[in-house]
Amino acid sequence: MESQSDASTVSLTKSGPDRATGLKRKNGVARNHVKKDRGGGQSVRRQGFKLWMLIVPFIILSLIFSYLPLFGWVYAFFDYQPPIPLSESKFVGLQWFKMLVQNPAQLHTIAQVLINTFAMSGLGILTSIFPLFFAIGLNEIRTRWFKNLVQTLTTLPNFISWVLVYSVAFAMFSSTGMINQLLENLRLIAEPVKFLDSDSWTWIKMLLWSLWKGLGWGSIMYLASISGIDQELYEAAQVDGANRWQQILHVTVPQLMPTYMVLLMLSVSNFLNNGMDQYFVFQNAFNLKHIQVLDLYVYNIGMGNNSLSLATAISMLKSLVSVVLLISVNAISKRTRGESII
């Protein structure tokens, strides 16, 4: 009993000075380092190894999710027909790639798909300034409850899945939907307007849907940066006699530009990833020509037509286009800003 309490006081007194001042503790740590280093390169290596171990989980994750899937490319070189496993499938070399270019009609389809992809992503990038304007507008609303209401209502659609968005769209815009019924009852139209099953303005319609869904969400980042703008800038502007409009133009917008540029870069890098769920739910026989983006085309070929090998070959096209995009953006960056990543 006694000896135990003795030991505890000893340990307390020992650690006492260390705790008392940061300086001493620092010294202690430094001493430790020196001690270890004297042990030779082995301990440095061990330390390095430990630090390396810290990033191992992330390396493994990126291997699993970014590099391991590339193994799936081998399917493009086999005649894979489920349920026969790959190991028993026939190796066909470049057959599927040849098939992609074998006739003008096929090439034409692929060209159309790429045009759709570029058009929809392009429109998305062109309109990426909208959330910025929306955020500024929202920020100018002085009535707090109204501002919150608008923000909540515009952010909510982001959390609705595309399938549900489509069912809302269907309820409103189908040939017997709300809008058509309303127009018919008002005797404005004689027969229902085909909002969903026609191929007119497909790109614009899709753009509007994604704007409706993403506007509020996209403006959150800008609202955050607006609240981070130094109030002194506004005060200085007011002293200089700037009105509200001039404050927006000369303080808010320039201050938001860095954020905008970052988000723009991110969306450019996601150029080909315009997803497929939106287009998948909205596609039908009538608008397929202009709604089929690369991801959807791959899905339709692979899952819809059961040609998994060909779909793999086409999806490799995506990587090819991405590499071309990367190289060209890099070249532009090199020329204009003198910086490059490769």
Partner 1 sequence: MISRRKTVMSVAAAVSMAMMFAGCGAGGNSADQKDDGSMMTVTVYDDLANYQGVQKGWFAKLVKDKFNMKLNYISPNVAGGGSTLFDTRSAAGNLGDIIITGYGSGRGSKLVRAKLIDDMTPYLSGMSNIKKHKDATDALNRQIGQKSGVWAIPGSVSTRKPTVAGEGLEPTFGPYVRWDLYKAIGYPEINTLEDLLPVMKGMQDKARAESGDNSIYAMSLFKDWDGNMMNNVKQPACYYGYDEMGFVLAKADGSDFESITQKDGIYDRVLKFFNEAQRQGLVDPESTTQNYDTMNTKYKNGKVLFSFWPWLGQAAYNTNENRAAGKGFMIAPLKDQKIFSYGATPNGGTTMIALGSKARNKQRLVKFIDWLYSSEGVYDSGAQTGGAAGPKDLNWTVKDGKPVLTDFGSKVLNGGKANVPTKWGSGSYTDGISQLNFPTELVSDIDPGTGYSFNATLWPSEIEKANDSPLNKDWSEHMGGAKTTMEYLEKNKMIDIAPGATYVQPDEDSRISTLRGSVKTEIVNDSWKAVFAKSDDEFQKIVDGMRTQTDGLGMKQVLDFDMKNAKDQDKARKAIVREYSKSGADAASK
Closest CB to partner 1 among residues 149, 182 = 182
Closest CB to partner 1 among residues 191, 339 = 191
Closest CB to partner 1 among residues 134, 173 = 173
C-beta of 108: minimal distance to partner 1 in Å? 8
C-beta of 102: minimal distance to partner 1 in Å? 7
Q: How far apart are alpha carbons 151 and 224 in whole angstroms?
A: 13
Q: Does 309 bind partner 1 (CB under 8 A)?
A: yes
Beta partners for residue 78, in sequence order: 91
b/e map of 162-185 (b: 16 or more CB within 10 Å)? beebbeebeeebbeebeebeeeee
The position carrying tokens 């849907």 is 209
Give the pair of three-digit tokens for residue 11: 């340990």
Q: Does 99 bind partner 1 (CB under 8 A)?
A: yes
Q: Does 112 bind partner 1 (CB under 8 A)?
A: no
Q: Does 106 bind partner 1 (CB under 8 A)?
A: yes
Q: How far apart are alpha carbons 148 and 146 in whole angstroms?
A: 5
Q: Which helix (H) or strand (E) holds 97?
A: helix 95-100
Q: Which helix (H) or strand (E) holds 318?
A: helix 308-337
**What do you get for the CA distance between the two ends of the chain, in Å?**
69
C-beta of 307: minimal distance to partner 1 in Å? 4
- DSSP character at residue 79: E
Measured in whole angstroms, the distance separating CA 144 from the mean position of its chain's CA atoms is: 31
Q: Does 76 bind partner 1 (CB under 8 A)?
A: no
Q: How far apart are alpha carbons 22 and 28 in whole angstroms?
A: 10
C-beta of 245: minimal distance to partner 1 in Å? 47
Q: Does 97 bind partner 1 (CB under 8 A)?
A: no
Which residues ranging from 43 to 72 are in contact with partner 1 (CB under 8 A)?
50, 53-54, 56-57, 60-61, 64
Q: Do residues 248 and 140 lie in contact, with contact meaning Cβ atoms separated by under 8 Å?
A: yes
- Size of interface with partner 1, in residues (CB under 8 A): 48
Q: How far apart are alpha carbons 236 and 228 in whole angstroms?
A: 16
Span interacting with partner 1, options 113-121, 216-224, 303-311, 318-326, rule CB under 8 A: 303-311
Q: Does 93 bind partner 1 (CB under 8 A)?
A: no
Using CB under 8 A, which of 263, 288, 321, 325 touches partner 1? 288
Residues contributing to the site for partner 1 (CB under 8 A)? 50, 53-54, 56-57, 60-61, 64, 79, 81-85, 88, 95-96, 99, 102-106, 108-109, 170, 174-176, 191-192, 194, 196-197, 284-286, 288, 300-301, 303-310
